[in-house]
């Protein structure tokens, strides 16, 4: 049983989207809002301002969401998409100021087959 849970830590993935989009014009702000709305609609949650994350049950599922984000990229600005295994994510440290902070809870994902 322990072997199964260890392997799952490497199978479960976290997809991160970092972005720095322009907001100077009304068109820029509209594109920014549309990009954020599309991320949320696809199940991403805000980890920090301009950093969104999504929990995926497998590498294949992560690839589906990465392709989806690529399909609605903003026309301007910088966007970074990367993924980590659950094991790598568990090694991240979170702080608020100099005090250690609690890790954000794993979002509950409902999958329909």
Q: What is the CATH classification number for the domain harbouring 80?
A: 3.30.70.240
| Tokens describing residue 63 | 């690839």
Residue 58 lies in a domain: yes
pLDDT at position 26: 97
Residue 51 lies in a domain: yes
Residue 21 lies in a domain: yes
* Overall pTM > 0.75: yes
Phi (first) and psi of residue 66, to 5 degrees = -65, -45
Q: What is the mean pLDDT of the chain?
A: 87
**In the chain, how many domains are there?**
1
Q: What domain range is 43 assigned to?
A: 2-100
**Residue 94, SS3?**
coil
C-alpha to C-alpha distance for 44 and 76, rounded to whole angstroms: 21
How many C-beta atoms surround the C-beta of residue 35 within 10 A? 21
- The DSSP letter of residue 106 is P
Do the Cβ atoms of 66 and 83 come closer than 8 Å?
Answer: yes
pLDDT in tens, 71-102: 999 999 999 999 999 889 888 888 888 888 77
Residue 113 lies in a domain: no
| Tokens describing residue 19 | 């972005």
């Amino acid at each position: 049983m322990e072997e199964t849970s260890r392997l799952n830590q490497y199978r479960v993935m976290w997809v991160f989207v970092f972005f720095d989009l322009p907001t100077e014009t009304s068109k820029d702000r509209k594109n920014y809002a549309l990009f954020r709305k599309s991320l949320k609609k696809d199940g991403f949650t805000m980890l920090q301002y301009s950093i969104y994350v999504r929990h995926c049950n497998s590498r294949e599922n992560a690839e589906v969401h990465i392709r989806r984000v690529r399909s609605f990229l903003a026309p301007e600005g910088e966007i970074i998409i990367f993924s980590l295994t659950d094991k790598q994510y568990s090694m991240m440290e979170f702080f608020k100021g100099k005090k250690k902070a609690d890790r954000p809870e794993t979002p509950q994902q409902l999958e329909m087959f």
